[in-house]
Amino acid sequence: MNHIRHIGIVVTDLDRSLSFYRDLLGMTIVRRMDESGDYIDKLLGLENTDVTTVKLSLDGNPTLIELLHFKSHPVEASAKKVFTPGLSHIAFTVPDVDLSYRRLSDAGILFNAPPQCSPDRRAKVAYCMDPDGTYIELVQVFDVPAPLVEDSR
């Protein structure tokens, strides 16, 4: 294997998910396709498949996010826990996690907690969810450990 090509995420509302990944996270649409017919049916092991796929990229990064909206097999998002088997989360490196946290919070995105500094102080991290409950991790990595911040209470 050479590299991870893409990560596929099934979504219930494509426009809402595009607003999150494109408009809030800053990803760019690389390709949008409507797929149906024998090829996709056989590939996915389904019948009468009608799916729209949208591949998104971050600044030309070779690993893409693929949003899949199944018009032929509608489902509702189910509650996920970070420890549920399967995909746990997708992590994005950001230049300023506090700024990302404020911007996404202002847009109505809910986080588990404000950004937290890792025990070794080499990263600051925050977890939120996309519109369908896929966990998103935002990580700011420090070249040198972040300074300790005294509690001013």
Of the given ranges (79-88, 93-102, 129-138, 141-150), which has the lowest mean pLDDT? Answer: 141-150
Residue 34 CB partners (closer than 8 Å, separation 6+): 50, 51, 52
Secondary structure (DSSP) of 52-64: EEEEEESTT-SSE
Among candidates 26, 55, 20, which has minimal Cα distance to 128? 20
Q: How far apart are CA 50 and CA 39, in angstroms?
A: 11
State the average pLDDT for the chain.
Answer: 91
Model confidence at 83: pLDDT above 80: no
Residue 153: what pLDDT?
A: 43
The domains found in the chain, sorted by start residue, are 6-70 (3.10.180.10), 77-153 (3.10.180.10)
Residue 148: what pLDDT?
A: 67
Q: What is the pLDDT of residues 27-68, one digit of tens each?
A: 999 999 999 999 999 999 999 999 999 999 998 788 999 999
Contact yes or no for 65/21 (Cβ under 8 A): yes
Residue 141: what pLDDT?
A: 96
Q: What are the C-alpha distances in Å from 25 to residues 22, 59, 65?
A: 6, 11, 12
